[in-house]
Amino acid sequence: MEVIIQPTREEAGRVAAAIVARLVREKPDAVLGLATGSTPLGLYRELARMHHDEGLDFSAITTFNLDEYVGLAPDHPASYHTFMRKNLFDQINITEERIHIPNGSAQDIPAHCLAYEEAIIEAGGIDLQVLGIGSDGHIGFNEPTSSLASRTRIKTLTQATIDDNARFFANREDVPVHVITMGIGTIMDAGQCVVLAYGEAKAQAVAGMVEGPLTAIVPASILQMHPLVKVLLDEPAASALQKADYYRRVHDMKPEWQRE
């Protein structure tokens, strides 16, 4: 796990975008796993800028989103379908049929989840998975105590997650209780993971992910077992790390061939 601490979230987002862009250039038909919420917005803005200003080509890229609310139609303003189109897909030249987002309106949710897993396999697996982390250490919507071997499935949200996500809805009561989410096992199958975390409110979760014990109570801690994870932080999110100075030294002392 490589921890990259930047002065601001904007700079961290640019570093993350450079990692994604390098993969897209080296493998034009790469498969990307994508996250939603406020955390990846800077990353998506920078990717859109790279497309417009530098010709970064997404026409052969395939995407799979981490999750979606159960019961929200794709055109609902708070759905992750709407979020992705507004903040990324409408800004780049991605092909419609290569976009995959869980269907929160599916009539048979278990069958849909199985089909989602199969679609990932048929696409060749996820090359790079973008992740955020919840203040309680969840990744995707894999809440604390989720199985560390889980696959795409329905999950019940904790009250803390509902409270965190209420800002995206007109009323707190409108936040769905259930979601479809990629499982932790699904996430761990990705070729590499890029984790973004900003703000002091995420500091303890980040410390648990990076330096704490591997435990289902902090689902993100499983990423310690992944062979290629880059964690992009701003200074406040890094404030609880015991080895922050060492992580800065590692990043600053990289040989040239290791730099993005």
Give catalytic status of residue 235 as yes or no: no
pTM of this prediction exceeds 0.85 = yes
Give catalytic status of residue 67 as yes or no: yes
**Domain annotation for the chain: domains and CATH numbers:** 2-258 (3.40.50.1360)
Note the pLDDT tens digit of each residue in 180-215.
999 999 999 999 999 999 999 999 999 999 999 999
Q: Which of 67, 68, 117, 234 is catalytic?
A: 67
DSSP per-residue codes, 138-163: -BTTB-TT--TT--SEEEEPPHHHHH
Q: Which of 68, 143, 164, 234 is catalytic?
A: 143
Q: Which of 117, 136, 189, 234 is catalytic?
A: 136
Instruction: State the pairing for strand pair 192-197/2-6.
Output: unpaired
Q: Which of 81, 112, 138, 189 is catalytic?
A: 138
Q: What residues have CB less than 8 Å from 120, skipping those under 6 apart?
A: 31, 64, 100, 126, 186, 189
Gap between the Cα atoms of 29 and 61, Å rounded: 5
Note the pLDDT tens digit of each residue in 65-91.
999 999 999 999 999 999 999 999 999
Give catalytic status of residue 189 as yes or no: no
Give catalytic status of residue 143 as yes or no: yes
CA angle 135, 40, 146 (to 5 degrees): 40
